[in-house]
Amino acid sequence: MDLLLGLPYYLVMLGILITVHEYGHYRVAVACNIRIYRFSLGFGPVLWRRPFGEPGCEFTLSAIPLGGYVLMLEKPDADTPPEDVDRALGRRPLWQRAAVILAGPLANLVLGAVFYAAAQYVGIKEVVPALSQPPAGSMLAAAGVRSGDRIVASSEDDLDTPGGVDWRPVHSFDDFFVGAIVALMDGKPLSLQIQHRGEQGTRDITLPLDTLGKTELDEEAATRIGLTRPYAPPLISDVVASGPAALAGVRAGDVVERIDDDVIADAFGLQTRIRAAAAGGKPRTMQWHVLRAGTPLTLAVTPRIVSEGGVTAAKADVVLGAYPAELVHLGPVDAVVYGAQQMGRHAVLSLRMFGRMLTGKASLKNLNGPITIADGAAKSAKLGLSHFLTYLAQVSVGIGVLNLLPIPVLDGGRLLYYLFEGATGRPVSTPWQTWLRYGGVFAILLLMSLALSNDLVRFLGR
């Protein structure tokens, strides 16, 4: 239902991103005096048209809203007016042809930077970059990180780097998480500035991610690093009526300090402790030591046992408090700098992820299709304008990077042809272009099928 309600946002998003991409091609083609016949949003039969630009050019809306195109004069033929012969794309200098093709993906990258900057300038509520208690034996635990510690800044430089460490402020938990993924992919240590909860000042630590022997953040790597969930206090925000906790007398507003003899440091620790009560497959009564309006109480809670995906777990039917969030608001200059940095970071990360998937170093399950993208548009829109702008930025950068991949039928494929022409002094032969086009179509159809399959597995598995 949420997906259907979010469909208008998805269509708005597609309309914006496709329009900007095609306008990039169009604007540079006009600047290079290339003859243009049509600027179309969508493929297939034309539903609506109107004159656009120079005489003989039109803007159209077409029936299949999965992309768009700019129809240019590629090569002159016998019917081409004499005044347009030299305006054919194939007659223009190589650098102009490359500029026209490159302009579409670049427009998406620039738009991504603009949306990132706009979201930060408007102000966006971000989950505070504070950590839950890391598992014993993990890198974070070994570095002395405790529940509620906040990450102030991060760097891929080692603390022993000559000339000092280039620190980058961490604005949110997602910001930190992406930084950890990048450092892991790079095979580099990750340095962090940590502020203990309730204390002033910071201290520096280094996580030796380069010693993990992994370049992908899977469950094992996350456990060894100590990445769990953002910090949230062990606060009960709601209790399901007639559930185990409600029957034991637990109320909304209670803070769980201990379960049996185990200290509960945060919401993730509480959740983990409840689930562990399913050991043996039988319900086991736990003593919850809670603080209610300053008064300590002990309540006997017997969770119910459930099976989730073949795994036995215990549930107390409580709703835990939300992750603490702060409004992050940057001034115009800082927002522009942040937007450019985030765009570059996301572009590099996306490009490397594509490369890792193609070489088998990352799972193809990372591919997202239209259903997942539409769901993300709906969820981000529900969170507010700034979150929607950030999501638009992410998708726009992703589209820009995707189109730069050297796959025939994509912009990157044509740029590869031009690179060959520049290096050899002759264009790729027509037969070769035909075969490469077939290969490109097959590759795109394969990627689309995998992405759609991933979507269906995700949503049918909910």
133 token code pair: 């208690």
Q: What is the DSSP string of 399-444?
A: HHHHHHSS-TTSHHHHHHHHHHHHHHSSPPPHHHHHHHHHHHHHHH
Q: Which residues of 67-94 are buried (b: 16+ CB within 10 A; e: fewer)?
A: bbbbebbeebeeeeeeeeeebbbebbee
Which of 125, 42, 177 lies closest to 388 in space, CA to CA?
125
Identity of the amino acid at 21: H
Catalytic residue among 22, 83, 156, 220: 22
How many whole angstroms separate alpha carbon 307 and alpha carbon 88?
A: 65
Residue 157 DSSP symbol: S
> Which element (helix H / strand E) includes 40?
strand 36-51
308 in active site? no
How many whole angstroms separate alpha carbon 21 and alpha carbon 267?
A: 44
CB 127 within 8 A of CB 105: no
From residue 371, alpha-carbon distances to 32, 398, 454 in Å are 38, 16, 9
CA 452 to chain centroid, in Å, comes to: 17
How many whole angstroms separate alpha carbon 98 and alpha carbon 257?
A: 64
Active site residues: 22
